[in-house]
Structure 1
Amino acid sequence: MKQQSLEDTMIEVREDFMLSPAGDSQPTFRTAHFLNPIENSIKEPAFKCNPFSSSSSVFDPNQWPLEIHFNGWRYPQTKWVKWVDELKLKYESLWKKVGIFEAIMSTKCCIKKNQDLVYGVVEKWCCETNTFVFHFGEATITLEDIMVLGGYPVLGDPVFISLQDEEMREVEKKLIFARNELYKTKSGKPRPSIWMDIFIGKGSEIEHEAFLATWLGNPIALAPAVLASIYRDLTLFKKTIVDLSKYPTGGDRFPVEITLQSPFYLVQIWVWERFKNLQPKPQTMLTNHGDPLLFRWHKVKALKIDNVKLALDSASDDFLWRPYVTCADKCGMFYPNDKIWAPFEKDLDKEMLSFVTCLRVSKLVGFESMEQYLPHRVAMQFGMDQDVPSYVPRLNETKFIAWKNYCRPISDKKLYFPPRLFEADVTMRYAKWWKQLVLGHDDFVKKVVRRKRSASLRKHRLHVVKFNTSGNDVGVPPGFPPNLVDTLNCGKFCDDEGLKIKTRKVEDLYADVPAKNSVLNCLIDDEIIDADVE
Structure 2
Amino acid sequence: MADTLVEEREEVMVPANSGNPIFRKAHFLKPMITEHNLLLSPPPNPLLFSKPCFQKLENCTLQSYKGLPSEKWKLWVQSLRPRYQETWKKAGIYHAILASTHTIPKDKMLIFGLAERWCADTNSFIFPWGEVTISLEDVVYLACHSVLGASFSTPLDDEFVDIFKCLKNDHKRVRLGHGGNVSASSWMEYFMFSGHSFEHEAFLALWLSRFVLVRPQNYIGIKDFRVAIHLSRGAKIALAPVVLACVYRDMRVLKNSIVELMRLESVVGLRFISCHYDLVQMWAWERFAGLRPAPNIIGRGEPRSLRWNGVKNSEVDDVRSALSSAELVFVWRPYVSSNSMLSNLCRDDEQWVVVDSDALESFARCLRTSELVGLGYTEQYLPHRVAMQFGLDQDIPHVVRLGGNPETGWTSYNRPLRGVKLFIPPRLFKADVTSRYVTWYRKTILLCTNETMESGMQNMWSSYKCRKSKPFTENQSGPKECAVITRNSNLTNKPVEMSSHSMSSNTRKEGKSTERQTKLEQYGEVSPEDNIANVVDESYEDTATELQHLGLEARICRLERIFDKIKAARFCASSQTDVDN
State the TM-score bracket (shorter-chain normalisation).
0.7 to 0.9
2-structure distance, mates of 1:64, 1:310? 16
Counterpart selection for 1:192 from 184, 187, 193 = 184
Residue 335 of structure 1, CA deviation: 2.9
* Correspondences of 1:129-144 after superposition (within 5 Å): 129-144=122-137
1-structure distance, mates of 2:26, 2:126? 24
- Judging changes above 3 Å, is the alpha-carbon distance between structure 1 residues 63 and 91 closer, same or farther for their aligned structure 2 residues? closer
RMSD, aligned CA: 2.8
Kept in 2, the 8 Å contact 1:160–1:367? The answer is: no
Report what 2:171 is aligned to: 179
Kept in 2, the 8 Å contact 1:21–1:425? The answer is: yes
Kept in 1, the 8 Å contact 2:395–2:434? The answer is: yes
Report what 1:293 is aligned to: 304
Report what 2:161 is aligned to: 169
Counterpart selection for 1:215 from 207, 229, 254 = 207
- Judging changes above 3 Å, is the alpha-carbon distance between structure 1 residues 424 and 412 closer, same or farther for their aligned structure 2 residues? farther
Q: Which amino acid aligns with 1:311?
A: A
Residues 410-430 of structure 1: per-residue CA shift (max 9 Å, x gap)? 497522111221111111111
Counterpart selection for 1:36 from 30, 35, 45 = 30
Counterpart selection for 2:387 from 379, 394, 397 = 379
Q: Which amino acid aligns with 1:270?
A: W
Kept in 2, the 8 Å contact 1:152–1:223? The answer is: yes
Percent identity between matched residues is 38
Report what 1:480 is aligned to: none
Residues 213-264 of structure 1: per-residue CA shift (max 9 Å, x gap)? 010013437000000001001100001111222x2535xx79766532x322
Residue 150 of structure 1, CA deviation: 0.5
1:20 aligns with 2:12: no
Report what 1:266 is aligned to: 279
Residues 279-331 of structure 1: per-residue CA shift (max 9 Å, x gap)? 110012xx332211110111001101101010000100110000011103376
1:421 aligns with 2:415: no
Residue 368 of structure 1, CA deviation: 2.8
1-structure distance, mates of 2:4, 2:86? 36
Q: Secondary structure of the equivalent of 2:336?
A: helix
Counterpart selection for 2:265 from 249, 253, 256 = 249
Kept in 2, the 8 Å contact 1:272–1:278? The answer is: yes
1:226 aligns with 2:243: yes
Counterpart selection for 1:353 from 357, 361, 368 = 361
- Judging changes above 3 Å, is the alpha-carbon distance between structure 1 residues 237 and 184 closer, same or farther for their aligned structure 2 residues? same
Q: Which amino acid aligns with 1:244?
A: L
2-structure distance, mates of 1:56, 1:258? 17
Residue 198 of structure 1, CA deviation: 1.5
Report what 2:441 is aligned to: 434
Residue 341 of structure 1, CA deviation: 0.9
Report what 1:146 is aligned to: 139
Q: Secondary structure of the equivalent of 2:347?
A: coil
1-structure distance, mates of 2:94, 2:38? 48
Residue 26 of structure 1, CA deviation: 1.3
1-structure distance, mates of 2:6, 2:281? 31
TM-score normalised to the size of structure 2? 0.68
2-structure distance, mates of 1:239, 1:129? 15
Report what 2:414 is aligned to: 407
Kept in 1, the 8 Å contact 2:111–2:277? The answer is: no
2-structure distance, mates of 1:308, 1:160? 40
Residue 43 of structure 1, CA deviation: 5.0
Kept in 2, the 8 Å contact 1:154–1:357? The answer is: yes
Report what 1:115 is aligned to: 108
TM-score normalised to the size of structure 1? 0.74
Q: Which amino acid aligns with 1:423?
A: K
Report what 1:370 is aligned to: 378
- Number of aligned residues: 426
1:92 aligns with 2:85: yes
Residues 347-376 of structure 1: per-residue CA shift (max 9 Å, x gap)? x11111100010000000112321000000
2-structure distance, mates of 1:82, 1:137? 44
User: Of the two, which has the highest radius of gyration?
Assistant: 2
1-structure distance, mates of 2:57, 2:246? 28
Kept in 1, the 8 Å contact 2:343–2:427? The answer is: no
Report what 2:492 is aligned to: none
Kept in 2, the 8 Å contact 1:159–1:366? The answer is: no
1-structure distance, mates of 2:304, 2:428? 19
Residue 204 of structure 1, CA deviation: 1.0
1-structure distance, mates of 2:353, 2:172? 52
Q: Which amino acid aligns with 2:96?
A: A
Give the helix-richer structure, 1 or 2: 2
* Correspondences of 1:311-350 after superposition (within 5 Å): 311-329=322-340, 334-344=345-355, 348-350=356-358
Residue 122 of structure 1, CA deviation: 1.0
2-structure distance, mates of 1:514, 1:69? 33
Report what 1:454 is aligned to: none
Counterpart selection for 1:79 from 50, 55, 72 = 72
Residue 47 of structure 1, CA deviation: 4.3
- Judging changes above 3 Å, is the alpha-carbon distance between structure 1 residues 396 and 372 closer, same or farther for their aligned structure 2 residues? closer
Q: Secondary structure of the equivalent of 2:265?
A: coil
2-structure distance, mates of 1:40, 1:255? 50
Residue 195 of structure 1, CA deviation: 1.1
1-structure distance, mates of 2:5, 2:342? 23
Greater Cα shift, 308-317 or 408-417:
408-417
* Correspondences of 1:478-493 after superposition (within 5 Å): none
Residues 424-449 of structure 1: per-residue CA shift (max 9 Å, x gap)? 111111111112443379xxxxxxxx
- Judging changes above 3 Å, is the alpha-carbon distance between structure 1 residues 377 and 177 closer, same or farther for their aligned structure 2 residues? same
Kept in 2, the 8 Å contact 1:340–1:416? The answer is: yes
Counterpart selection for 1:282 from 274, 295, 318 = 295
Kept in 1, the 8 Å contact 2:353–2:423? The answer is: yes
Q: Secondary structure of the equivalent of 2:97?
A: helix
Residues 115-135 of structure 1: per-residue CA shift (max 9 Å, x gap)? 111111111111110000111
Kept in 2, the 8 Å contact 1:159–1:367? The answer is: no
- Judging changes above 3 Å, is the alpha-carbon distance between structure 1 residues 56 and 292 closer, same or farther for their aligned structure 2 residues? closer
Residue 48 of structure 1, CA deviation: 8.3
- Judging changes above 3 Å, is the alpha-carbon distance between structure 1 residues 264 and 31 closer, same or farther for their aligned structure 2 residues? same
Q: Secondary structure of the equivalent of 1:277?
A: coil
Q: Which amino acid aligns with 2:116?
A: E
Which of structures 1 and 2 has the larger relative contact order (alpha carbons within 8 angstroms, sep 6+)? 1
Q: Which amino acid aligns with 1:37?
A: P
Residue 516 of structure 1, CA deviation: 9.6
Q: Secondary structure of the equivalent of 1:278?
A: coil
